[in-house]
Amino acid sequence: MENIRQAIERAKAQPKPQSGVNLERSQRPARVLGGAPDNTRPIEEIALDFAHLQSRRIVAYDGKDIRSRPFDILRTEVLRSVDLKGWKTLAVTSPTPGCGKTLTAVNLALSLARQPEREVLLADLDLRKPQVAGYLGLNCRDGLLGVVEERLDVDSAIVNVRAGRSRLAVLPTALTSNSSDLVASTAMRSLLQDIAGDGQSRIAILDLPPLLMGHDAISILSQVDCVLLVAAVGTSTVGEIEECNKYLQATELVRFVLNKAPESARAASYAYY
């Protein structure tokens, strides 16, 4: 299995233009996660479609958009812990579906990627219901699934994207009904080790399945540095959150995000502005 740093360095894959995205050759130097720029050649990047992103509430690529502010605040809080403890992999999960975990993961990754000194990888590990590609407007026939089934090299699975000032590597995935075996496989463990890698400036955001919907997420928790738990008002119950805490006892909980708060509560939180 190729090392992710080598994969991004080469960036050999040249996907055909897809609906909602434009394939362009960036003039920035090629760069590996946590490594020095390669000034010998540019890399291929997909320019994400702003209209599509807005329709899916993906806004954190634009620091001037007031809706990106909560994700920028979350970025600051996460980086405070990540940098202090040297963490490289942050998993995002929720008690159940419908809490906005993927929305949070994608926006957080784009917010992080606005910082030019950061190397960000966003990976979709929700093999039962992958959504990262859909949120970004990408097509994915294989992606991470092909890597863990050892049919595809990781350099072919990674897609380099940009939106506004955000540039990041994305490892999307296709869905499968065989996720239970794959998440516990040696190939998945090897991939997660590659993702962790080296480099002070790199961070990987992993979109995991909901914690209480099977053992997929639980199988991966022991292989990540920290977890961001996303719950939602009107969707998550106190009992479900307490149940999640039982599974997170041996894992560092970096932050807890509560989505779908009443409009009045959100307005009060921004009264200063």
Task: List Cβ neighbours of 114 (8 Å cut-off, separation of 6 or more).
Answer: 60, 61, 63, 164, 165, 166
Strand partners, 143: 173
- Interval 3-18 mean pLDDT: 45
Residue 65: pLDDT above 90?
yes
Mean per-residue pLDDT over the chain, rounded: 83
Residue 6's pLDDT is what?
A: 53
**pLDDT band for position 200 (cuts 50, 70, 90):** low
Strand partners, 24: 45
DSSP-derived pairing of the beta strands 119-124 and 159-163: unpaired
Residue 153's pLDDT is what?
A: 87
Q: What is the pTM of this model?
A: 0.83
Q: Return the CATH class of domain 4-268.
A: alpha beta
Residue 18: pLDDT above 70?
no
* Residue 27: both structure tokens together: 């003039």
Percent of the chain surpassing pLDDT 70: 79
